[in-house]
A = this chain, B = another copy of it.
Amino acid sequence: MRPFRDLIPFEKARRIMMENIPKIEDFEIVSIENAVGRVLWEDVSSPIDVPPFDRAAEDGYAVKAEDTFGAGQYSPKELKIVGRINTGEFKKIKIKSGEAVEVSTGAVIPEGADAVVRVEDTEKEGTRLKVYRPVHPGFDIAPKGEDIKKGDVILNKGEILTPSKIGALAAIGVPEVKVFRKPRVAVLPTGDELIKPGEELEMGKIYDVNSYTISSLIKENGGIPEVLPYVKDDPKDIEKKLKESLKYDMVVFSGGSSVGERDMLIDVVEKMGKVLFHGVQIKPGKPTWCAIVDGKLVFGMPGFPTSCLNDAYQFLVPALREMAHLKPRREKIVKAKIARRITSTLGRQQFFTVRLDGEIAYPAYKTSGAITSLANSDGYIVIPATVDLVEKGEEVEVHLWG
C-alpha cells in the first residue's frame, strides 16, 4: 500500500482546484424560449426604441393639452371626436386644435396630439366630447424610446438569464441569444462489479449508483453528463477510456473501490497529466484526487456511493458552476439539534449525513457503503478537523441536499 503523497486540508484542495478551472469560452445560440438559467456570452443592445412609438398609457382621448386648460368639474371643455385608434392598429390621423381621437391603452398617439385625457375625466355624446379635467403636455403618453433607446446595452455578458431578463430580450424583439455552451462532463464509473439498473443481478455484481447520482447533480448544476462505458480494473483500459474522455470539458472517475484499483488509476493519470492534489483531509473522501490532463480537469472520486456523492457536492459542483460561468450553488442551511452523540476523527473534516425531523437532526450515516445513508438523509453537517465529538443536543447547521 502506498501513502498518499500530500494529504491536504479541504479548503486548500478547493482553492487549488478553483484556480485551475478551464472556463468555457465558446458560445451556442439558443432561442429565448429555452434560455432561462443560461449565461449571456456577449452584451445585448437594443435594435429598436421601446416603446417604438408614442403610446397611450391609459384608455382615453388623445388631445392637444392646451385645449383642456381651464377645464373643470363644472366647466368642461368641449372637443370634437374625429376618430378612434385601437391598440395594435396604425391610422394616419392628424388632429387639429379642438379635436380628439379616442385611444386604447397602448395605441399609437396620432400626429398633433401631445396628451391623453383619461376616459373617466370625460363624457362622450356622439362625436362631442366633454373634458372635465385639464392635462399638461405629455400627460399619459409614453414617448417613443422613453424606456430604451435604440443601441442601448440592456443586458451584459455574464448575466444569468432569469425570467425577467428573458422578458427584456423579448421586448426588444430578440428571438435568440448567444450563451456560454454548457460544459459536457464525461462520467467514468470504474469496476468490474458494476451493472446497470434494470439488468439482472448476477452473483458478485452490484448496481452502479455513482453514474446516476453524479449525472443528476451535473444536470442540476448547468452541465451535460455523458456516462461512458464502465472502466475495467486494468491500466490499459483506464488509459484508453481516459484518452477518449478528453474530448469532454471535464472528466469524473468514480471508484475503484479497492486500493489496488485506485493506484492503477492515479498511475495512469500521473503519466498523462499533472496531479493537482491526491488525498484530502476529509471524511468521507480521503482518496479524492484532481488533475489536469491535456488542459481538462479530471477528478477521481471514491467508489462508495455516499463518499462519491459528498465529493461531488464539495468538488464537482463548484468546479462545474465556475466552468459554466454560474454563481456558486445556493445552499440552504437550517439549524437543528443533534439527536445523539457523534464522534469524529481528529485531523479530518467530516461531512456527516443526517435526516431532519422538525428541529432534530438524526444521524443517517451507517457505513460509507450504505445506500440508506443516501435514501434517508436530508443533508449533512460539517464537523471540523479539530473537533472529535459532537454532544447529543448540540446545535448544528444542516446543509440541505435539495
Contacts and interface: CB of A to CB of B under 8 A. Distances in A.
A282 to B, nearest CB: 18
Interface stretch (A67-75, A186-194, A269-277, A344-352): A186-194
Interface string A322-363: 000000001010000000000000000000000000000000
Which among A219, A258, A367, A377 has the greatest number of chain B C-beta atoms within 10 A?
A258
Given A371-B172, A375-B154, A401 B193 contact: no
A167 B211 CA distance: 8
Contacts of A146: 370
Nearest to A308: B167
Contacts of A220: 36-37, 163
Contacts of A50: 371
Contacts of A260: 59, 104
A265 interface: no
Nearest to A198: B175
A209 B170 CA distance: 5
A197 B212 contact: no
A171 interface: yes
B120 A375 contact: no
Interface string A143-178: 000111000001100001111111111111111100
A393 interface: no
Interface stretch (A8-16, A84-92, A126-134): A84-92
Contacts of A1: 119-120
Interface stretch (A21-29, A200-208, A238-246): A200-208
A311 interface: no
A322 B166 CA distance: 25
Contact of A197 (B32, B196, B330, B370): B32
A203 B170 contact: no
- Binding site of A, secondary structure by majority: helix, strand, loop or mixed? loop
Contact of A204 (B107, B202, B209): B107
A33 B89 CA distance: 50
A191 B32 contact: no
Contact of A87 (B35, B51, B169, B191): B191
Given A142-B369, A174-B197, 13 more contacts: A1-B120, A50-B371, A88-B205, A104-B257, A104-B261, A106-B191, A107-B204, A108-B204, A147-B370, A147-B371, A147-B372, A162-B402, A163-B309
Interface of A: 1, 32-33, 35-37, 48, 50-53, 55, 57, 59, 85-90, 104-108, 119-120, 142, 146-148, 154-155, 160-176, 191-194, 196-199, 201-217, 219-220, 233, 256-261, 303, 305, 309, 312, 330, 332, 366-367, 369-372, 374-375, 377, 401-402
10 smallest CB-CB distances across A and B, nearest first, come from A88-B193, A175-B198, A88-B192, A168-B375, A90-B204, A167-B213, A163-B216, A36-B216, A171-B371, A90-B203
